[in-house]
Amino acid sequence: MTDKDLDIEFQNAVNRVNAHTEPFPADTLLKLYAYYKKATNDYGRPKSKKPIINAFKTNALFQAKNISEDEAKRMYIELVNSYFLYRE
């Protein structure tokens, strides 16, 4: 898969998540958050009003610290595809 193909597939997965109206399970949501942040090279601090949510997000980012941007995109895509496969 070329870089361009990966970027397109990643953006399609992001759009699919954003269009989904039902809540995601917390563990899935945290993984999506961490992979998205790594994939987009966004290292800003979590901005929830609740400290416990920020702690969970920070932990998720820490667990994903050793993956590359491209690997994060692939993992995000795989997680989205798996989630929706079992929902339909």
CATH code, domain carrying 41:
1.20.80.10
Burial 33-46 (b: 16+ CB within 10 A, else e): bbbbbbbeeeeeeb
pLDDT value of residue 88? 59
Residue 33 covered by a domain? yes
What is the span of the domain harbouring residue 76? 3-15+26-85
| Mean pLDDT of successive 10-residue stretches along the chain, which has 88 residues | 94 97 94 96 84 92 94 98 85
Indicate the number of domains in the chain: 1
Nearest to 77 by CA among 25, 3, 8, 2: 8
Nearest to 32 by CA among 86, 78, 1: 78
Q: In this structure, which amino acid lies at residue 14?
A: V
Query: What is the 8-class DSSP label of residue 65?
Result: T
Residue 34 covered by a domain? yes
pTM metric for this prediction: 0.91
